[in-house]
Chains A and B, each alone.
Chain A
Amino acid sequence: MPSSRSTAGPQPLPTDLSATDLLALYYYMRLTRVLEERLVALHRQGKVVGGLFRSLGQEADAVGSAYALEPGDMLSPLIRNLGSMLVQGATPLEVFRQYMAKAESPTAGRELNIHFSDLERGFLGQVSSLGTMVPVMAGITLYFKLTDQPRVGLVYVGDGAMSTGAFHEGLNFAAVQRVPLVVVCENNGYAYSTPTRMQTAAARLVDKAAGYGLPGVRADGNDVVATYEVTREAVTRARAGGGPTLIELVTYRRKGHAEHDDQRYLPAGELEAWEQNDPIARYRDRLIGAGWAGVEDLGREDARVETEVDGALARCIDEPFPAIGTALSGVFADPPAAEPEWYRALPGAPSDRRAGEPPHG
């Protein structure tokens, strides 16, 4: 097992990451994967009442990019960026409760999966219309700019979302306003069943940056350190007033769009090839090979992940759904003038409400 490299001592750490940081990247990727594996089991048991969206094989791009942010920064994920939310402090307990529509979930059972927000911890949940969060994050970062705060925003889009009008309008707005926003395109090859070549005639998604007058960079999305490094550079530029950057992280979606998708549209052999490029296995080999972490260190992180995920699930699995009485409130800040369900209440016999009516002209 010892190689010539390890006998020469560990390699220098990459960029500005410490040994603790390197372990944290591993931890968050493993947390993403194990959490999703538990969700798959719950989905099969019918405990996840809606769809389940995996990020298998894409854990590195979400974790590495989010890790480039500082406290106070804000991100908005897409459906395969669970890892980015975990980096920002979202918990397995919250994710389990969301998927299982528990009363205690962050949205009290109103919203699905990872569609939840905490502006204090720095994540703004997505909606299902793709590209929508780009203009919204342009507004969040416009707020940072207007109030002179050295904070940065990061928003994720996919190869599919980049075809939307919202993406175009939002990125153009952000570029013109020079707001501190980093846009990460997670190019995983498919939007549902549609391959990237049917989304765009551009040779590379990152080439679109030039049309907005923005710097664009492309990196290997399955290399967590590379995703960190390119995002870190863009975040630093944004924080210094240098405006937005478009980053393309090239990765691959190894599961279907959701659990029900059998991926019948994949060319033969494609999935198997990408299975050999697993971001967590690659990173594990690199940590050990470069001497940045030992097998025991990684084993400790693995055990910690298992304990946390199992503990969170045990805590919430038997919790109730929300009470139906909660469903009518909170559309507006002010309570409605009348009970919203008044129109369903049926009066008895035809009323004599006009009895005693004053005569009128």
Chain B
Amino acid sequence: MAETTYLEAIRQGIAEEMERDPRVFLLGEDIGALGGPFRVTEGLLDRFGPTRVIDTPVSELAIVGAAAGAAHMGLRPVCEMQFIDFIACAYDMITNYVATARYRGGLSTPLVIRGPSGGYVRGGPFHSQNPEAAFLHTPGLKLVCPATARDAKGLIKSAIRDDDPVLYFEHKYLYRRVKEDLPADPEILVPLGSARVARAGHHLTVVTWSAMVWKALEAAERLDREDGLSVEVLDLRSLVPLDDAAIVASLQRTNRVLIAHEDTRTGGMAGEIAARINELAFEWLDAPVRRVCAHDVPLPYAPPLEDYILPQAEDLVAACRWLANY
């Protein structure tokens, strides 16, 4: 069986949902004839036609706003942000309008906003961001960030079927670097809000998601080889809803936790997870919760600078050793 890349998995997931549900349609910049800058939507215009794959003006706010209106009426729009950095242009629409619509007015707004996020690709300050924390703080939004091809497919399908707005952060570094055999049958659906143990271990836990899962697996392999440490890697997959139970269960096995994310540190997701561990399972800790995150600067372009600012496997190895020796 041919291997499916992370990118192809997203495309397959979208196409399957468009096939299954005529209410699903796509909105975005350059997603039709071009298929998007990374070709995530390649071929979908030919297959589904211009009423299901709509090229829009350069207007992120209008893309999300129009999707919200269509979603109120029962359609299931999937919006592409050409790079996820530009989701900031739609921030008002997403946080003030979309996220609040159900609570304040009973308006159903089933839409997906997806786009390439993340660094390690020399993209500079505006093509490398991980903006999940900016939306974490707004009740009413679900946030997902797949690390594997299987989850990329299973989560985009679940996101499209969900009755609430879902922000789907796909990692551009993983697009063509991650691949696996994906059987066409049975159908792949990954529930929102469910974490996955990417590697079992008993000395300490690395809680992470998206591309950082692969850095954590690399670090775990090295720690096993060089230190004899057994590191568990918990891939959250969804940030909202957050699988508190999986985090606590892993902590109860290992009693030491490192939270690693590619986003900057201050106000990042790691702080929220650390607070929840404190509230839910403080007595189970044998060491302080540690964080490995990007330093608090806009992401620079030059390779040595980007590599320094973003967390690397060595940073995780060092933090894990500190935790194990605490």
Residues on A facing B (Cβ under 8 Å) = 106-107, 110-111, 115-117, 119, 124-125, 127-129, 132, 134-143, 146, 165-166, 169-170, 172-173, 176-177, 330-334, 336-338, 343, 350-354, 357, 360-361
Contact = CB atoms under 8 A, between A and B. Distances in A.
A124 B68 CA distance: 12
B163 A333 contact: yes
A170 B283 CA distance: 53
B93 A135 contact: yes
A128 B93 CA distance: 11
B75 A127 contact: no
A351 B283 contact: yes
Given A107-B106, A143-B69, 20 more contacts: A115-B104, A129-B96, A129-B97, A135-B61, A139-B73, A139-B77, A146-B25, A166-B62, A169-B61, A170-B62, A173-B66, A176-B56, A176-B57, A337-B193, A337-B244, A350-B283, A353-B283, A360-B202, A360-B254, A361-B230
18 contacts: A107-B104, A111-B105, A117-B105, A117-B107, A119-B107, A135-B62, A135-B65, A139-B71, A140-B70, A142-B66, A143-B73, A146-B75, A165-B61, A330-B103, A332-B142, A332-B163, A332-B164, A353-B281
A213 B75 CA distance: 28
B55 to A, nearest CB: 9
A336 B241 contact: yes
A141 B75 CA distance: 12
Contact of B202 (A106, A119, A338, A361): A361
B163 A334 contact: yes
B46 interface: no
Contacts of B54: 177
B119 to A, nearest CB: 27
B203 A125 contact: no
Interface string B37-64: 0000000000000010010110101111
B117 to A, nearest CB: 22
Contacts, number: 151
A268 B68 CA distance: 44
Given A135-B65, A135-B93, A172-B62, A353 B70 contact: no
A143 B105 contact: no
Contacts of A127: 96-97, 100
Interface string B135-174: 0000110100000000000000000001110000000000
Contacts of B56: 173, 176
B70 A139 contact: yes
Nearest to B96: A129
A19 B284 CA distance: 79
B72 A124 contact: yes
A125 B59 contact: no
B163 A166 contact: no
Nearest to A145: B51
Contacts of A136: 65-66, 68-69, 72, 97
Interface of B: 25, 51, 54, 56-57, 59, 61-75, 77, 92-93, 96-97, 100, 102-108, 139-140, 142, 162-164, 193, 202-203, 230, 241, 244-245, 252-255, 279, 281, 283-284
A170 B65 CA distance: 8
B289 to A, nearest CB: 17
A166 B60 CA distance: 10
Contact of A139 (B65, B139, B140): B65
Where chain A touches its partner, the secondary structure class is: loop
Nearest to A138: B66
A140 B104 contact: no
B57 A172 contact: yes
A352 B283 CA distance: 8
A331 B202 contact: no
A135 B198 CA distance: 41
Contacts of B74: 143
Nearest to A132: B97
Contacts of A169: 57, 59, 61-62, 65
B227 to A, nearest CB: 13
Given A132-B93, A132-B96, A110 B69 contact: no
Nearest to A166: B61
Nearest to A140: B69
Nearest to B275: A343
Closest 8 CB pairs of A and B: A139-B69, A135-B65, A139-B66, A169-B62, A169-B59, A333-B163, A140-B69, A173-B62
A345 B97 CA distance: 31
A142 B104 contact: no
Contacts of A106: 105
Contacts of B93: 132, 135, 166
Contacts of A173: 56-57, 59, 62-63, 66
Contacts of A142: 66, 69-70
Contact of B283 (A111, A165, A333, A354): A354
A293 B203 CA distance: 88
Contacts of B254: 360
A138 B106 CA distance: 20
B73 A331 contact: no
A268 to B, nearest CB: 38
Contacts of B67: 139
Contacts of B97: 127, 129, 132, 136
B200 to A, nearest CB: 12
A333 B164 contact: yes
A132 B281 CA distance: 43
A139 B68 contact: yes
A264 to B, nearest CB: 30
Contacts of A172: 57, 59, 62
A217 to B, nearest CB: 23
A146 B142 contact: no
A125 B103 contact: no
Given A132-B65, A166-B65, A337-B241, A125 B193 contact: no
